Amino acid sequence: MLDKRQAPAGAKSAQSAKVSGIWPPVTTPFRADLTVDFDRYIAHCRKLLADGAHGLAVLGTTSEANSLDLGERETLLERVVAAGIPGGQLLPGTGAPSIGDAARLTRHAVGLGVRGVLLLPPYYYKGVSDEGLFAFASEVIGRVGDQRLALYLYNFPQMTTLVWSPDLVGRLIKAFPDTVVGLKDSSGDVAYMETLLSRYPGFAVFPSSEALLLSAMKKGAAGCISATANTHVANIRRLYDGWQGPEAEALHKTAAAARAVVQPYGWIPAVKAILSAREGKPDWMRVRPPLVALDEKKKAELMQALAPLGG
Amino acid sequence: MLDKRQAPAGAKSAQSAKVSGIWPPVTTPFRADLTVDFDRYIAHCRKLLADGAHGLAVLGTTSEANSLDLGERETLLERVVAAGIPGGQLLPGTGAPSIGDAARLTRHAVGLGVRGVLLLPPYYYKGVSDEGLFAFASEVIGRVGDQRLALYLYNFPQMTTLVWSPDLVGRLIKAFPDTVVGLKDSSGDVAYMETLLSRYPGFAVFPSSEALLLSAMKKGAAGCISATANTHVANIRRLYDGWQGPEAEALHKTAAAARAVVQPYGWIPAVKAILSAREGKPDWMRVRPPLVALDEKKKAELMQALAPLGG
């Protein structure tokens, strides 16, 4: 079983073929003692794949990955793979503020045969130069030292205050053409995303919003990695499949409408509240500090607002 | 030897007596392969204490602690204690974005008999509420579960974008009166610091700048934890000792003048460049990515600017 998922070390394999489509950043359920509820987590992963996800961007921001210990992040990934979800459908976040911890998580993920990893910039320091970010990414890649590594830069300046600038992205692609193969852009900055798409054809760019998916696909994007793909993946998949068809605009409007309703409630608590309401599981509401769960009133409001859109 | 440093678990000991004075945030030297140069590190610690430091705020921002792996942070602290530097003179940073990692580092430090720890807020997420930060700190304290813990909040909004607001500080003091005993303020926001000093007498507040030390001492501050205490600790100690004496203004001007020269060069690379120049050790220049070392030209410029002030 493991042989099927793992490519031989040192050989580029099918797992590094271009990633595309809809990859939900899987939200992480917690028990009352704040430990990860693995059974519910695996069930959620399976449902997302059954409902149309091409793969799973586990351990991202929406997953509260940076509220998990390093060891928990490794264990979670092992549990997902042990549950039979193919490594080829996994794109975990492996960022950490230090080179060593980021390399450790990345090496571990590559060892499990994942399709690729999403790398945040080192998000403690502010006002960091492109030179420093280039050195950081280069060190991580060098320490992982595995040709199977497919690295997707994770751009989220609202959280990190740092940007993988278009020039820096180009420099990294040039230095590591078989490794630095894509980028998830959570900035919402359309001009930034379009700059990447026009400068680096073939580089796999994922906006973080289904509201941007149609226009982004027209410019060559690879798909999207969106918080609300946790709750509305079927709609987003239909848009992805139909973006060149006659229904494209209608599919876009349907997907964008649900997202617009969710946004004011805060992505992470809101996504969990929707899953809680749908499954009738109050436990789904729980988040780890410093985040705060929605209260029941807000949850009811949110579900009421989503009702005309099918929930 | 260890018995002298460690209080019996469950008993409040002298180690938690109020911290005061000058506690340099010790800068961390790296070898060519970026590993920590422990010999140089311990020598630097000893020199700081010999030159007047009351204790050492190891593993802070100036120490590049967030560029060290979690395991390296533990090892470094063990090496310092093993070198014979008393736990009572150590105030390590133990912050991490996740509750579990912050609790792990804090528990480890308390186990080594440190005087206290500096806790950053969980710095990945932005726009976090006081309620969420309170829950984060409470969880860390609860998981450490050791009455010896003396916790100093570490306020550095320029890096974290989060603030331990005066109201939140009051709530934490009230909930954990024997544990939450102080705060290091790197914000440079004098009004914020003075609010804390006036609202919470006896709470140990440390500005991060010797330029604020004299005015802060007049309002009841405990001392200071400043990057440039790595290079100018004797001057800062003289100011601390003499702040009520006739030379106070002159001592303030001397300390503030050196700091003002260093600031434009960036604290961490500049502090390392000064140590490199003074000790004739090019290796001292090295920083970990994403930071970037000063080049030789800047280093020469900096040393020339410091020369009239005694270097």
The pLDDT of residue A66 is: 98
Q: Residue B270: inside a domain, yes or no? A: no
Contact (Cβ atoms closer than 8 angstroms) between residue A41 and residue A35: no
Taking Cα atoms as reference points, which of A34, A12, A29, A61 lies closest to residue A186?
A: A61
Mean pLDDT of B275-293: 98
What does pLDDT average to in each consecutive run of 10 residues of chain A (311 residues)? 38 60 98 98 98 98 98 98 98 98 98 98 96 98 98 97 97 98 97 98 97 98 98 98 98 98 97 98 98 98 96 85
Pick A98's closest partner by Cβ from B69, B131, B161. B69
Q: Residue B190: inside a domain, yes or no? A: yes
The pLDDT of residue A12 is: 47
Q: What is the spatial distance between Cα B16 and Cα A1, in angstroms, rounded to a whole number?
A: 55
Taking Cα atoms as reference points, which of B138, B133, B132, B92 lies closest to residue B111?
A: B92
CB contacts < 8 A, A to B, total: 111
Kindly identify which residue of chain B lies nearest to residue A72, measuring between CA atoms: B100
CA distances from B95 to A53, A97, A156, B119, B261 (A): 36, 12, 22, 5, 30
The two tokens of residue B140 are 């860390």
Residue A40 exposure: Cα atoms within 13 Å on the Cβ side? 19
Q: List strand residue ranges (DSSP E) for A128-281, in order.
A: 151-155, 180-185, 204-207, 223-224
Contact A125 B291 (CB under 8 A): yes
DSSP-assigned states of every residue in A64-115: TGGGS-HHHHHHHHHHHHHTT--GGGB--B---SSHHHHHHHHHHHHHTT-S
The pLDDT of residue B11 is: 43
φ, ψ of residue B90 in degrees (nearest 5): -120, 135
The three-point CA angle B60-B64-B68 to 5° equals 105
pLDDT at B7 over 50: no
Kindly identify which residue of chain B lies nearest to residue A292, measuring between CA atoms: B132
Point out which residues pair with B224 in neighbouring strands. B22
Place of tokens 């950043």: A25
Kindly identify which residue of chain A lies nearest to residue B130, measuring between CA atoms: A290
Contact B66 A98 (CB under 8 A): yes
In terms of pTM, does the model score above 0.90? yes
- pLDDT (tens digit per residue) in B11-51: 444 345 679 999 999 999 999 999 999 999 999 999 999 99
Q: Which of A36, A76, A101 to mutate to test the interface with B (most CBs of B within 10 A)?
A: A101
Q: Residue A224: inside a domain, yes or no? A: yes
The pLDDT of residue A8 is: 40
The pLDDT of residue A18 is: 79
Taking Cα atoms as reference points, which of B73, B64, B56 lies closest to residue B28?
A: B64
Chain B contacts to A (CB-CB under 8 A): 34, 61, 66-72, 97-101, 104, 121-126, 128-129, 131-133, 135-136, 138-139, 158-159, 161, 288-292
The pLDDT of residue A72 is: 98
Q: Residue B48: inside a domain, yes or no? A: yes
Contacts of B128 in chain A (CB under 8 A): 290-291
Contact B132 A67 (CB under 8 A): no
B204-236: burial string, b at 16+ Cβ within 10 Å, e else:
bbbbbbbbbbbebbeebbbbbbbbbbbbbbbbb
Taking Cα atoms as reference points, which of A126, A62, A136, A64 lies closest to residue A106?
A: A136
Q: How confident is the model at residue B6 (pLDDT cuts 50, 70, 90)?
A: very low
Contacts of A122 in chain B (CB under 8 A): 66-67, 289-290
The three-point CA angle A183-A211-A202 to 5° equals 30
Contacts of B123 in chain A (CB under 8 A): 123-124
Q: Residue B267: inside a domain, yes or no? A: no
The three-point CA angle B202-B205-B210 to 5° equals 135
Q: Residue B18: inside a domain, yes or no? A: yes
Q: Residue B117: inside a domain, yes or no? A: yes
Q: How confident is the model at residue B8 (pLDDT cuts 50, 70, 90)?
A: very low
Chain A contacts to B (CB-CB under 8 A): 34, 66-72, 97-101, 104, 121-126, 128-129, 131-133, 135-136, 138-139, 158-159, 161, 288-292
Contacts of B126 in chain A (CB under 8 A): 158-159
Provide the CA B278 distance to its chain's centre, in angstroms: 23
Contacts of B291 in chain A (CB under 8 A): 125, 128, 132
Q: How confident is the model at residue B311 (pLDDT cuts 50, 70, 90)?
A: confident
Mean pLDDT of B256-281: 98
The pLDDT of residue A311 is: 85
Taking Cα atoms as reference points, which of A31, A26, A63, A20 lies closest to residue A231?
A: A26
pLDDT at B147 over 70: yes
Q: Give the CATH number for residue A23.
A: 3.20.20.70
Place of tokens 């019996």: B8
Contacts of A101 in chain B (CB under 8 A): 69-70
Point out which residues pair with A90 in neighbouring strands. A56
Contact B100 A68 (CB under 8 A): yes
State the smallest CA–CA distance between residue A72 and chain B in angstroms.
9
DSSP 3-state percent helix, strand, coil across chain B (nearest 5): 50, 10, 40
Number of domains in chain A: 1
Strands A204-207 and A223-224: unpaired
State the smallest CA–CA distance between residue A100 and chain B in angstroms.
5
Which DSSP letter does residue A151 get?
E
Contact (Cβ atoms closer than 8 angstroms) between residue A258 and residue A232: yes
Kindly identify which residue of chain A lies nearest to residue B135, measuring between CA atoms: A289
The two tokens of residue A59 are 């351990």
Specify the 3-state DSSP secondary structure of B153. Answer: strand
Q: Residue B145: inside a domain, yes or no? A: yes
State the smallest CA–CA distance between residue A48 and chain B in angstroms.
25
The pLDDT of residue B4 is: 36
B134-171: burial string, b at 16+ Cβ within 10 Å, e else:
bbbbbbbbebbeebbbbbbbbbbbebbbbbbebebbeb
The pLDDT of residue A137 is: 98
The pLDDT of residue A11 is: 43
Provide the CA A107 distance to its chain's centre, in angstroms: 18
The pLDDT of residue B77 is: 98
Q: Which structural domain, as residue segments, surrounds residue B234? A: 2-247
Contacts of A286 in chain B (CB under 8 A): none
As a whole number of angstroms, the longest Cα–Cα distance in chain B is 54
The two tokens of residue A134 are 């280039």
Place of tokens 């911890």: A101
State the smallest CA–CA distance between residue A242 and chain B in angstroms.
35
Contacts of B264 in chain A (CB under 8 A): none
Q: Which of A28, A69, A129 to mutate to test the interface with B (most CBs of B within 10 A)?
A: A69
Q: What is the spatial distance between Cα A218 and Cα A240, in angstroms, rounded to a whole number?
A: 11
